[in-house]
Every structure is written in C-alpha cells, then in structure tokens.
Structure 1
Amino acid sequence: MLCPHCHHNGSRVIDSRPAEDGMSIRRRRECVNCGFRFTTFERYEETPLLVVKKDGTREEFNRQKILNGLVRSAEKRPVSMDKLTKIADHVEARVRRLGENEVSSQVIGEFVMNELKPVDEIAYIRFASVYRQFKDVDAFFKEIESMKKEER
C-alpha cells in the first residue's frame, strides 16, 4: 500500500480488527520506508447502486458525497468527524438494505436528515436548507416551526 507520507509502495500491517460497523476491517499500517503509521479500511465490494437525481439523471452512489455534505452542514458545530462518519455509514447501510439497484436522491436526503436531526439541530437546518433548496427566510421558519411541533 502506498504510504501517504513518503509515497513508498510498501507497508506492513501492525493491527487488524473489525470496524464498528461490522462491515469493514480497520488496519493500522506502518511504512517500511519511513515508519509513518496510518489507518486503512477494507470493505467488500458491493454491486453498483445508482442514485436517481431530481432531474432524472443517474450516477453511482458515492458515500463520500454524503460525508462532504454532512461536514459542510456541521462546520463550526460541536459534532465530531467520527459522528459524521457514523451517520454516513448508517445512511449507506439503510440505502443498501433497501435492496434496490436504484434509489432516489430524495430518499437518501431524508435518511441523512433523520440521522442528523437528533445529533445537531443547526447542522440539520443547514443540511435541509441545501437539500430542500430553501428559497427564502420563510422556508427556514417553516422548517423550524415543524421541528418545534415535533418536540411537543
């Protein structure tokens, strides 16, 4: 494996254990050239899953896009990267459990919001504003009012 520090193509596995999700293996590696230690994850390869976007186009499911959206929504919020990664893992698992070859971006967005809402309401509102394409302040207020009603 290529070292992220010196780019040498040689490392040895120091530790290997199942990741928390049970769907991957976490490996600690050490570069044989420079001694730099890094972590890799090994996952089994899934059959391709296509996301049907609002405009009808299709693209391959990309967990990283979910994680990027979560990171942007939680910027400057007290939400750890570990928690955001777990949310992305849960969303991916839910999508794959649907057992479909194609899933709409709306379904994925709802899954993300369901996972994010109990973690941080501000991050949730930020994500919802992009996902639901809020056009004005009234849309924000409607979403906040909806959240308040659910709390009662």
Structure 2
Amino acid sequence: MRCPYCAGENTQVKDSRPTEENAAIRRRRICPDCGGRFTTFERVQLRELLVVKRSGRKVPFDRDKLVRSVQIALRKRPIEDERVERMVSGLVRQLESAGESEVASSTIGGLVMEALRGLDPVAYVRFASVYRDFREAADFHEVLGEIAAEPANDAPHIGFEGSVVETAPLKKH
C-alpha cells in the first residue's frame, strides 16, 4: 500500500481488526520512510460498477463519494458514524448484488433518499433538495407534507426495492 504522505511503497500493517459487523477489515499502517500513520479498509467488492449519469456519461462507482454526500446531508445531526457506515454498506451491497454492472445515478439517488428517510427526516429533506433540484420554497413544503403524512412508528421502514432500512426515534433537544 502506497503511503499517502510520501508515496513510499513499503508501508507496514501495525494493527488489523474487523469492522462493520465483520464486513470489512480496518488496518492501521505506518510508513517506515516518513513515519506517517494512516488507516485503510478492506471490503469485499462483488463487481465493478459503473454509474450512468443523466447526461449518459459513465463513471466508475465511488463509495467515498456516496459517503461524502450522505455525511453532508447528516451534518450536525445526532446520527452516529457507525450507523451511517452500516447504511452505506447496505446500499453498496444492494447495488453490487443487483446483477447489473451499470446503474443509473437516479437509482442510487432513490436508494439514498429512502435510506435517509428512515434514518433522519432532516437529512432526507436536505438530500432531496439537492437530488430533486429544489428551486423554490414550495418544493420544500411538498416534501415536508410527504413526511408529515407518514405514520410515525418505530418499526423498520421498508425502503427502495423492498430493502429494510434501519430507523430510530429522533432525539429531542
């Protein structure tokens, strides 16, 4: 593994442990050249996915980009990083096991919206505002009306294509 600090190629693993309910391995590494320390994650990748953008352009699927977009929607929300990681891992597994090597960006957006709807309503609205390209306040009002019309319960939310999305009651401040 190449060092992200000095590009040295002889990094050493100092510690390995399973994470994400044994779905990944977290490795702490050190570079003997510069002394830099960093963490890597090893995950099973079932297939190479290509994302088909609205323009028709195809780009490789980037798990980190998905994580960043979810983290932006969840910024300053009381959701633990571990729950976010489990949600993203579930979405990636669902995409990889769908049997298609190409997936539309709208499909990914739909999956993320359903997962966020069950995880945190505020994050759902934030993500929806970008994903659906809100232009005016009425767009927010429409989505808030959808959320208000849903029955409130603690049962698992059934997400996109029948997947179960983890839900939890919101903490009141």
What TM-score results when the alignment is normalised by the length of structure 2?
Answer: 0.73
- Corresponding residue of 2:130: 130
Alpha-carbon distance in structure 1 between the residues aligned to 2:20 and 2:46: 19
1:95 CA drift (Å):
0.8
Conserved? CA contact 2:12–2:29, under 8 Å: yes
Residue in 1 that maps onto 2:98: 98
Aligned to 1:120: 120
Aligned length: 152
- Tell me what 2:53 maps to: 53
Correspondence for 1:13: 13
Distance in 2 (CA, whole Å) between partners of 1:52 and 1:18 is 32
The gaps in structure 2 that reach 5 residues or longer are: 153-173
1:85 is displaced (CA, Å) by 3.0
Change (3 A) 1:140 1:21: same
Structure 1 residues 133, 108: closer, same or farther in 2, change over 3 A? same
Aligned residues: percent identity? Answer: 39
Render the CA deviation track for 1:114-148: whole Å, top value 9, x for unaligned: 22123221111000111111221111111111111
* Structure 1 residues 6 and 80, CA gap change in structure 2 (3 angstroms): farther
Distance 1:8 1:57 in 2: 34
Q: TM-score of the superposition, structure 1-length normalised? A: 0.82
Pair 1:87-2:87 in alignment: yes
Contact kept in structure 2, 1:21 and 1:89, CA below 8 Å: no
Distance 2:35 2:60 in 1: 36
Query: What SS does the corresponding residue of 1:113 show, helix, strand or coil?
Result: helix
Aligned partners of 1:74 and 1:10: how far apart in 2? 37
- Paired residue type of 1:101: S
Shift of residue 81 of structure 1? 3.7
| Aligned-pair CA distance for 1:39 | 1.7
* Alignment root-mean-square deviation, CA: 2.4
Aligned to 1:30: 30
Q: Distance in 1 between matches of 2:98 and 2:52?
A: 14
Unaligned runs of 5+ in 1: none
* 2:15/2:29 contact within 8 Å kept: yes
How far apart, CA to CA, are the structure 1 residues paired with 2:106 and 2:21?
24
Contact kept, 8 Å, 2:20 with 2:85, in 1: the verdict is no
Taking a change above 3 Å as real, the CA distance of residues 121 and 66 of structure 1, as seen in their structure-2 partners, is same
Q: Which residue of structure 1 lines up, in the alignment, with residue 158 of structure 2?
A: none
Instruction: Give the superposition deviation at 1:45.
Output: 4.9
